[in-house]
Chains A and B, each alone.
Chain A
Amino acid sequence: MVKDKKKLLIIILIIAVLPLVIKSRTVLNALVLLLIYATLGEAWNIITGFAGQTSFGHAAFFGIGAYTSAILFFRYAISPWFGLILGGIIAALVAGIVSFPFFKIRGHYFAIATLAIAEIVKQIFVSWDYVEGATGVSIPIIPRDSSFFTRLINLQFNERLPWVYLTLILFALAIFAASYLENSKVGFYLKAIRESPEASEAIGINPRKYKLIAMMTSAFIAALAGSLYAQYILYIDPFMMFSLDISMKIVLLTVLGGIGSVYGPIIGAAIFIPLSEFTRIQLGGSGTGIDLMIYGLLIVVITSYQPKGVIGIIETVRNRRNKNNDGGEGKGEAAS
């Protein structure tokens, strides 16, 4: 059912080879973040790109995933692999329960509701002692001389290379899942609902049922990305995990990469994550905020002076790639 299986495999293969060629820690770090955000973008794309329900609250699911695995490891020393799956299930359930009543609500009103959900989740985590409240969770570090097997069980590595491959595997799963969904019956139903809820209902599609499936799948994938992110940076707190900034970054890179396309998130992430890392490394650390200032300005310039430019340019690249059959845009940006 996965269309363009070859194309997807080529993209994944190129990312897999990249860290073997470029060994700089900075580049590997950017690559890990890029893959995590691209995974989040794939998740967001399912509910917003396919089903047409704009979510400004995906940080909630990302954070729930991160907290589930981090807290299980922090309190009971349970392997993050278990937390990863459990976090996905919890996020999917939360997403299903809280968003179900809102599926009848259209457009911006739904978007603001998702924003409200994320804010409420943040407030709960801030004042919840079991999850360490506003202090945040520092994930206990295992001894440096642990064997690779122990490290794998506990998802902690001394180098960045394993992280690139772990996040790549997750991203590959996400993009294949999204592609499968897009070309399945459910995917077509979702697009029908996006284009016209009334018409799709008239031909016997239950919009709420399929939106629920999309929302829960989306939250599940976002939570997996959250778990990996928590293990990667080893510290989480409610303000950074549930921030509007994360939700908006997901929207940003997916929309500018190409909303509704499975390639959109990876294209967007390949542009924006290296850009953000580059400004942060070059200009950050002075505490003057000049890095984010320039980054914000670049977003403005890209969106407003080339509103169709980024997508347009990529479209041409895509067409050319179709002809030559050699994939993998974003390689150049990832290396910067």
Chain B
Amino acid sequence: MEQIITNGLLMGFIYALVAVGLTLVWGVMDVINFAHGEFLMIGMYTAFWMYSLFSLDPLIGLPISMIVVFLVGVFTYFAIIRRVIDAPGLTALLATFGFSMFLKNFAQFLWTPNYRYINDAVVSGHSIKIGTISIGTPQIVASIGSIILTILVMLFMDKTRTGKAIQATALNKNTALLMGINTKKMYAITFGLSGACVGAAGALMSTFFPIYPGSGALYSVLAFVIVALGGFGNIKGAMFAGLIIGLTEAVGGYLLGTQFKYALVFLVYMIVIQVKPKGLFGW
């Protein structure tokens, strides 16, 4: 049981990093980015190609993954989001839905649907034993990396001028504009930052998950639930919700059978939202 709880928590930290990226965009721009899972997939593929073409370990390649997906995020903002952000209702969401379909199939077109693995990364094949608990090194490195990056994002948002400007933009775009904040630039940075988070998550996950064009899709649905559970736009909320979902998945999978673990995750969301209609940390 300790083993299962540990596994759940470790997975939870990674979910948290994926969800932090999504919640940033959601909170600041009120845009549901359906392509978020595909950003994760791009992060994983970047790590894979760095590894197989230049023998760069995913850990060393991590900044490259971050930069690549950061750029994808900024590109997405300028090419698509900028045009739909003021459109009514669900238009922005549908644009990102189309974009996710494009990215997934573009990856399949370029790199075939085959599963790819990174087998002999620095972290692979080791595990650490603490008492009766044994933890795989890839998982522990991924969780520590996720924790560090999540904290960095929080610090960035709270302590830096840019972070504060982003928050101001989120609160009221027009007032922020009047205060001399370049809101377009803030949106672009937010989208890029969201991409960087999920790119890092992709690189960290690439050492113990198969890499294929559809590898991000499952996590994007989970990330939606995590973000909603934590309260839209709330980074701290996303982190706690990520942990809760990771735990639920591991413990639920153990108690009820793995086929029901995601059903249980969704059930947890549906129950929590009855008590806290705006998520755990929503207001």
CB pair B94 A252 closer than 8 Å:
yes
In the assembled complex, the CB of A103 is this many whole angstroms from the nearest CB of chain B, namely 11
**B102 adjacent to chain A (CB < 8 Å):** yes
Across the interface, B225 reaches (CB within 8 A) one of A112, A126, A304, namely A112
CB pair B269 A296 closer than 8 Å:
no
**A232 adjacent to chain B (CB < 8 Å):** no
**A101 adjacent to chain B (CB < 8 Å):** yes
**B83 adjacent to chain A (CB < 8 Å):** yes
CB pair A292 B105 closer than 8 Å:
yes
CB pair B83 A120 closer than 8 Å:
no
CB pair A109 B259 closer than 8 Å:
no
Across the interface, B91 reaches (CB within 8 A) one of A287, A292, A298, A303, namely A303
**A320 adjacent to chain B (CB < 8 Å):** no
CB pair B263 A255 closer than 8 Å:
no
A116–B268 Cα gap in the complex (Å)?
10
Q: Mark B222-234, 1 if CB is under 8 A from A, else 0.
A: 0011001000100
CB pair B100 A296 closer than 8 Å:
yes
Across the interface, B263 reaches (CB within 8 A) one of A115, A124, A251, A302, namely A124
Residues of A in contact, count (CB < 8 Å): 45
A126–B93 Cα gap in the complex (Å)?
28
Q: Give the interface residue-count category, chain B.
A: 35 or more
CB pair B270 A116 closer than 8 Å:
yes
> Quick one: given A104-B277, A256-B94, are A290 and B101 in contact (CB under 8 Å)?
no
Q: Mark B70-90, 1 if CB is under 8 A from A, else 0.
A: 000000000111011001011
A244–B214 Cα gap in the complex (Å)?
13
Q: Mark B245-279, 1 if CB is under 8 A from A, else 0.
A: 00000000000010110110011011001100111
A104–B276 Cα gap in the complex (Å)?
11
**A102 adjacent to chain B (CB < 8 Å):** yes
In the assembled complex, the CB of A106 is this many whole angstroms from the nearest CB of chain B, namely 7
CB pair A255 B269 closer than 8 Å:
no
**A234 adjacent to chain B (CB < 8 Å):** no
Q: Mark A295-317, 1 if CB is under 8 A from B, else 0.
A: 11111101111011000000000
Across the interface, B84 reaches (CB within 8 A) one of A127, A252, A293, A304, namely A304
**A289 adjacent to chain B (CB < 8 Å):** yes
Closest to A244 in B: B221
**B106 adjacent to chain A (CB < 8 Å):** yes
CB pair A255 B277 closer than 8 Å:
no
Contacts of A105 in B (CB 8 A): 273, 277
CB pair B94 A123 closer than 8 Å:
no
**A119 adjacent to chain B (CB < 8 Å):** yes
**B97 adjacent to chain A (CB < 8 Å):** yes
Closest to A118 in B: B266
**A137 adjacent to chain B (CB < 8 Å):** no
CB pair B221 A290 closer than 8 Å:
no
CB pair A119 B221 closer than 8 Å:
yes
**B213 adjacent to chain A (CB < 8 Å):** yes
CB pair B270 A293 closer than 8 Å:
no
Closest to B79 in A: A304
CB pair B98 A296 closer than 8 Å:
yes
A21–B220 Cα gap in the complex (Å)?
45
CB pair A255 B95 closer than 8 Å:
no
**B119 adjacent to chain A (CB < 8 Å):** no
Q: Mark B207-226, 1 if CB is under 8 A from A, else 0.
A: 00000010000000100110
Across the interface, B269 reaches (CB within 8 A) one of A116, A127, A251, A293, namely A116
> Quick one: given A119-B221, A289-B105, are A307 and B269 in contact (CB under 8 Å)?
no
CB pair B104 A289 closer than 8 Å:
yes
Contacts of B103 in A (CB 8 A): 296
**A108 adjacent to chain B (CB < 8 Å):** yes
Across the interface, A303 reaches (CB within 8 A) one of B98, B100, B260, namely B98
> Quick one: given A109-B228, A113-B273, are A251 and B102 in contact (CB under 8 Å)?
no
**B99 adjacent to chain A (CB < 8 Å):** yes
Across the interface, B224 reaches (CB within 8 A) one of A101, A112, A251, A287, namely A112
A191–B120 Cα gap in the complex (Å)?
59
Q: Mark B22-46, 1 if CB is under 8 A from A, else 0.
A: 0000100000101000000000000
In the assembled complex, the CB of A144 is this many whole angstroms from the nearest CB of chain B, namely 36
CB pair A112 B228 closer than 8 Å:
yes
A119–B103 Cα gap in the complex (Å)?
23
A303–B106 Cα gap in the complex (Å)?
19
**A54 adjacent to chain B (CB < 8 Å):** yes
Contacts of B79 in A (CB 8 A): 304
CB pair B80 A304 closer than 8 Å:
yes
CB pair B266 A120 closer than 8 Å:
yes
CB pair B108 A307 closer than 8 Å:
no
Contacts of A288 in B (CB 8 A): 108-109, 112
A109–B32 Cα gap in the complex (Å)?
12
Q: Mark A231-253, 1 if CB is under 8 A from B, else 0.
A: 00000000000001000100110
**A259 adjacent to chain B (CB < 8 Å):** yes
A81–B242 Cα gap in the complex (Å)?
45
Beyond contacts A119-B263, A296-B98, A296-B105: 5 other A-B pairs, Cβ-Cβ < 8 A, are A108-B32, A115-B224, A288-B108, A289-B104, A304-B95
Q: List 6 A-B contacts (CB under 8 A).
A: A113-B273, A115-B225, A251-B93, A293-B101, A295-B98, A304-B80
User: Which A residues have a C-beta under 8 Å from some C-beta of B?
Assistant: 54, 101-102, 104-106, 108-109, 112-113, 115-117, 119-120, 123-124, 126-127, 244, 248, 251-252, 255-256, 259, 287-293, 295-300, 302-305, 307-308
User: Which B residues have a C-beta under 8 Å from some C-beta of A?
Assistant: 26, 32, 34, 79-81, 83-84, 87, 89-91, 93-95, 97-106, 108-109, 112-113, 213, 221, 224-225, 228, 232, 257, 259-260, 262-263, 266-267, 269-270, 273-274, 277-279
